[in-house]
Structure 1
């Protein structure tokens, strides 16, 4: 239980576009909520987008706001409602960041909580306080107890990056032995490589950072290419795959990487899976799409209804995020490393 009534939190302030390590009150859970002591909160690229000009629909609410939407922790107390009462003090849990939605309408079940019919959805870490703080309240309906053997201090990246990468790979619908390009082998992509190999696909890793490519090889990639330094990478991918990859899953925030993808996708049957969100809107050749050169699809990257299969698959196949840990006051440094493409795997704040 908390020893006091306040806690430390890394909060983004729109007024100066900076982070501030503030002291704020510890929240209390409502009937449908759990109070969780955060064990680990990990950094996602969309957290960093708060500091960047973008037109991709990030909506802020309160100001300042605690950033972070990817975490795991231990239940401290529960609300009095039926759903919350299914959890108990001491449970190791992971959770997703969409709150105030109904979780039960067709969009919530089959599309994404962002499009809930109530129109009330908010995202922790953006429009409500997120997870780079010592305690947080989460909705019990978007929370699950970790599988046996899963470490609560390293599981955090699975509750955004893991669920996103798993469904980005699985939703391609490939058969074993087909070729998949994982575009961007960092925080999301290194997990994508692991999921793709566990599903029986042949994998080509693409990135502009050699360290990320080394990570991809450790995760099982069959081939890797630096798309910045190897001028012939597109030709090589087409030759290796005998016509192009069956799916290119783009985990990056690079518009150029999206522009490059059609050249390596197998004509007529190949798929471009959109996961990463660049600052600028994507530009697609309408003739290519109209004539069936390749298909474009997005992946439902994380709701309470598709969270559990991703986490259970991770536990079954021993898929783990490669996590570098820091202290809460080091979050600005973590952001600098991410922006400089000097981070491999995932970076997270581990709380005592």
Structure 2
């Protein structure tokens, strides 16, 4: 017997999201059933709902920054119990046996992870539906514990925007003595500033927008560089150990690469299109610099990030919205009119 669930869905690439009833599977032995309290709104939700990346299957229920409370567990579940405050991020399953999964890097699963929405369940072939809904059923291996002291509203975006910036900073062992630059101040960038500062780095924001200095410093930046100013860019040539680039559209990487030290690394976490204009290879070769990419994070490192956030008082800066206002929120996100992440209060769906 399947579970009838209320949510919000896109019925096509061109129609607004609207109320939608759908079915979730009955819990399996290793499943956790979660009553959703909050769900963050990610830019990839818009890309998916509008089929901008291709492959969208409708109806499509977005949402992969989920905070909720456990209401039931399967017979084999030992790590969670009803009443626990938990989270679910971008993935709900993986093959569990490839090299990447064995290393706790399920996001790089050789057989592809099962994503929280618009993905095919590897066990029963059903489509997955995301967190713009009242409940979700997830394998216990992909459920995260929300530590005490962490504001659940501010924790929701940590499950995508947070881990996307945390994972590369941890992988490249950023800490005291490192000079780190963050490119872009949005949902990802504001978390990058907070994490790099809490890790002990000297932190700079690269921005194209004058007037962001006070806001950047509030979020953890020690310095702000206007990337459209040639003099400011020349002043930081060969300066940084690490650049975290959160910009989600094509942009010229060459001026940023020139600001890296010998052996510096420029990591892309926002761009999924071809790099354009092309990178000048000489800029890499003559400084042994690296251009790299990073994708979200594994379940283990996501839990590590949540624990770090609780210990350091870190959360996303959020604006709460009602489920019924999601289409307006999408429009505001496209206009960069949010600081820095919308979070849906799912009580609004249940009250409707």
User: Do they fold alike, i.e. is TM over 0.5?
Assistant: yes
* Pairwise CA distance, 1:346: 1.3
What's the secondary structure of 1:269's corresponding residue? strand
Match of 1:67 in 2: 62
Give me the whole-angstrom Cα distance separating, in 2, the residues matched to 1:15 and 1:191: 30
Does residue 113 of the first structure (1) align with residue 109 of the second (2)?
no
Match of 1:327 in 2: 322
Cα offsets for 1:63-85 (capped at 9, x unmatched): 212111111110111122x2x24
Equivalent residues of 2:237, 2:258 under 8 A apart: no
Equivalent residues of 1:71, 1:131 under 8 A apart: yes
Equivalent residues of 2:183, 2:189 under 8 A apart: yes
Is there any run of 5+ residues in structure 1 with no aligned partner, and where?
none
Does residue 125 of the first structure (1) align with residue 120 of the second (2)?
no
Does residue 39 of the first structure (1) align with residue 33 of the second (2)?
no
Cα offsets for 1:128-157 (capped at 9, x unmatched): 211111111122101122112223233111
TM-score, normalised via structure 1 length: 0.86
Does residue 236 of the first structure (1) align with residue 232 of the second (2)?
yes
Give me the whole-angstrom Cα distance separating, in 2, the residues matched to 1:281 and 1:264: 18
**Equivalent residue runs for 1:12-31 within 5 Å:** 12-14=10-12, 16=14, 18-25=16-23, 27-31=25-29
Match of 1:102 in 2: 95
Match of 2:257 in 1: 262
Give me the whole-angstrom Cα distance separating, in 1, the residues matched to 2:225 and 2:332: 22
What's the secondary structure of 1:14's corresponding residue? coil
Shift in CA distance, 22/154, structure 1 to aligned 2, threshold 3 Å = same
Give me the whole-angstrom Cα distance separating, in 2, the residues matched to 1:311 and 1:259: 34
Give me the whole-angstrom Cα distance separating, in 1, the residues matched to 2:214 and 2:39: 25
Is there any run of 5+ residues in structure 2 with no aligned partner, and where?
120-127, 348-352
Give me the whole-angstrom Cα distance separating, in 2, the residues matched to 1:110 and 1:236: 41
* Pairwise CA distance, 1:238: 4.4
Give the length in aligned residue pairs.
336
Cα offsets for 1:232-256 (capped at 9, x unmatched): 1x532442x4732221100120211
Give me the whole-angstrom Cα distance separating, in 2, the residues matched to 1:237 and 1:180: 15
Match of 1:9 in 2: 7
Match of 1:277 in 2: 271
Give me the whole-angstrom Cα distance separating, in 2, the residues matched to 1:213 and 1:8: 43
Between 215-224 and 33-42, the greater mean CA deviation after superposition: 215-224
TM-score, normalised via structure 2 length: 0.86
Give me the whole-angstrom Cα distance separating, in 1, the residues matched to 2:96 and 2:279: 33
Match of 2:189 in 1: 189
Equivalent residues of 1:172, 1:273 under 8 A apart: no
Give me the whole-angstrom Cα distance separating, in 1, the residues matched to 2:327 and 2:150: 28
Match of 2:244 in 1: 249
